[in-house]
Amino acid sequence: MRRRQTMVVLALAGLLVATYLWLYKIGVIGVLQCGTGGCEAVQASRYAELLGVPVAFVGVAGYAALLGVGLVGVQPAFAADRRVTLLLAALATVGFAFALYLTAIELFVLHAMCRWCVVSAAIITAIWVLALDGLRHAPAAPNR
Amino acid sequence: MKGFYALLAAVALIGGGAIWYGSRNAPGPAAPAAPVAGAALPVVTSDGFKGFTLGADSAPIEVTEYSDFECPFCASFATVQMPVIREQLIATGKVRWRYRDFPLPSHQYSRYAALAAQCAGEQGKFWEMHDQLFTNHQWAQTGKNPRSLFRDFAKAVGLDLDKYDACMDGQRYAGRIQASVQEGEALAVGGTPTFFVNGKRFDGHPTSDAFKSLVDGLTKQTKPRK
């Protein structure tokens, strides 16, 4: 239970970071508070969009899904539900892979690091580790 | 469980409040911000490039302009004075005009705009992009991310967009721009636009008339006596 609660708090933090980047991308926030100066370079690059959708919005959607599933998972009725564990692990794995891809783009293509993207990558990595740990400790599926 | 929801509410409240505070103070072009390639520049070494030029190599007078694409005075100069200068001084072979980048750190997107112009220059369309950036200068007032708009400019001037994208994403000319800034600073350029006529700083009011009379005066001095 404590593991899922931690994942929910992390997902909420990730959702806030992704929302901040998304609001900047659509012009609601004019200036990113980014000490490295790399946020502009990253956010202004073509890699900041995926098939016309801002990458930050993909983050918003991903973290919202993790938050939603996580909140269901902390309810007593679903505390031991293996499906929630599997869904959390699947979402976290997709998110972690996406974060790896974006970090590689920052490091090797753009040569610029966006501090908020690093924070988001750290959050999704922590969620992924917790999700895998949850998978390891999940009760086996009942034999039918 | 109560503690968990309290923690969740606290995170939501603090994070949401921070985002709300950030959006309240923006957008606004006057807000201080790091330049596009700022501290994350991959290279700062110059490739020896000394700026794009207009006019004949044989022109007796060279004017070097240190400019910033986001600067409103530079835009005004480029759109009001420059067409006359091009017609009367550059097209007539009297002057060769050299453009140097001097993106000011207080401007959010000027370095990005300079990159766009350099990437257009790579395809032989620097001046066309220069004109697009200065003529459609509304982008500098909105504070919004101009990436798509600059790409539209690139398309409008006939650039190969794949090459343009690769150039922009790789920040291919970031080092060149930084070198131009450093050269400007070495010449005590503090604001934009700043002009040098045959290497000597021009301190007058930058109008086409002022440049014309200065160039006419210098041309008379340099003409060989018969």
ipTM for the whole predicted complex goes beyond 0.85: no
Taking only the tens place, the pLDDT of each residue in A64-78 is 999 999 999 999 888
Contact list in A for residue B143 (CB cut-off 8 A) is 27, 30-31
CA distance A34 to B34: 8
Q: What is the CA angle B141-A30-B181, rounded to 5?
A: 65
DSSP state of A142: P
Of residues A73 and B27, the one with the higher pLDDT is A73
Taking only the tens place, the pLDDT of each residue in A83-127 is 999 999 999 999 999 999 999 988 888 777 888 899 999 999 999
pTM: predicted TM-score of the whole model, two decimal places: 0.57
- A9/B8 CB distance under 8 A: yes
Min distance A17 CA to chain B CA atoms (Å) = 8
**Residue B161 pLDDT:** 92
Among A4-18, A38-52, A54-68, B7-21, where is mean pLDDT lowest? A38-52
Q: Per residue in B22-44, is it b (16+ CB within 10 Å) or e — as a string?
A: beeebbebeeebbbbbbebbebe
**Residue B210 pLDDT:** 92
CA distance B20 to A108: 33
A-to-B residue pairs, Cβ atoms closer than 8 angstroms: 125
- Whether the Cβ atoms of residue A57 and residue A22 lie closer than 8 Å to each other: yes
pLDDT of A40 strictly over 90: no
pLDDT of B156 strictly over 50: yes
The mean predicted confidence, pLDDT, of chain A is 86
pLDDT of B20 strictly over 80: no
What does the block give as tokens for A9?
A: 């708090």
**Residue B37 pLDDT:** 36
H/E element, B200: strand B200-202
What does the block give as tokens for A98?
A: 């996406």
Which of A21, A40, A109 has the highest number of chain B CBs within 10 A, making it the mutation to test binding with B? A40
Phi/psi of residue A80, each to 5°?
-105, 15
For residue A105, the enclosing domain spans 2-137
CA distance B75 to A35: 29
- Of all residues in chain A, the percent with pLDDT exceeding 70 is 86
pLDDT of B159 strictly over 70: yes
| CATH number, position A58 | 1.20.1440.130
> Is residue A142 assigned to a domain?
no
Contact list in A for residue B22 (CB cut-off 8 A) is 20, 23, 29, 33
> Is residue A48 assigned to a domain?
yes
pLDDT of A35 strictly over 70: no
Contact list in B for residue A28 (CB cut-off 8 A) is 23, 26-27
Q: Which residues contact A29 (CB under 8 A, 6 or more apart)?
A: A20, A23, B19, B22, B23, B26, B27
Nearest CB neighbour to A29, from listed B8, B23, B39: B23
CA distance B101 to B182: 10
- Whether the Cβ atoms of residue B74 and residue B68 lie closer than 8 Å to each other: yes
> Is residue A96 assigned to a domain?
yes
**Residue A39 pLDDT:** 74
Q: How many domains does chain A have?
A: 1
Of B119, B102, B130, which is closest to residue B168 (Cα–Cα)? B119
CA distance A140 to B45: 60
Q: What is the CA angle B128-B129-B134, rounded to 5?
A: 105
CA distance A16 to B18: 9
pLDDT of B30 strictly over 70: no
Domains of chain B by residue range:
62-210
> Is residue A143 assigned to a domain?
no
- A30/B27 CB distance under 8 A: yes
Of residues B32 and B187, the one with the higher pLDDT is B187
CA distance A92 to A120: 12
CATH of the domain spanning B62-210, picked from 3.40.30.10, 3.40.50.2300, 3.40.640.10, 3.40.50.2020: 3.40.30.10
The mean predicted confidence, pLDDT, of chain B is 84
3-state secondary structure of B217: helix
Of B194, B202, B205, B197, which is closest to residue B67 (Cα–Cα)? B194
Provide the pLDDT confidence category of residue B219 given band limits of 50, 70 and 90. Answer: confident
- A30/B40 CB distance under 8 A: no
Min distance A106 CA to chain B CA atoms (Å) = 10
What does the block give as tokens for B47?
A: 């490739």
Residue B8, chain A, CB below 8 Å: the answer is: yes
Contact list in B for residue A14 (CB cut-off 8 A) is none
Taking only the tens place, the pLDDT of each residue in B51-65 is 999 999 899 999 999
Of residues B8 and A143, the one with the higher pLDDT is B8
Nearest CB neighbour to B144, from listed A27, A35, A48: A27
Residue B12, chain A, CB below 8 Å: the answer is: yes
pLDDT of B125 strictly over 70: yes
> Which residue matches tokens 């968990």?
B4
Mean pLDDT of B171-189: 89
**Residue A100 pLDDT:** 94
Which of B7, B8, B110 has the highest number of chain A CBs within 10 A, making it the mutation to test binding with A? B8
Which residues 78-117 of B are in CB contact (within 8 Å) with A? 108-109, 112
> Is residue A144 assigned to a domain?
no
Min distance B223 CA to chain A CA atoms (Å) = 49
pLDDT of B33 strictly over 50: no
Q: Please name the residue ranges forming H helices in chain A.
A: 2-25, 38-43, 55-73, 82-104, 115-137
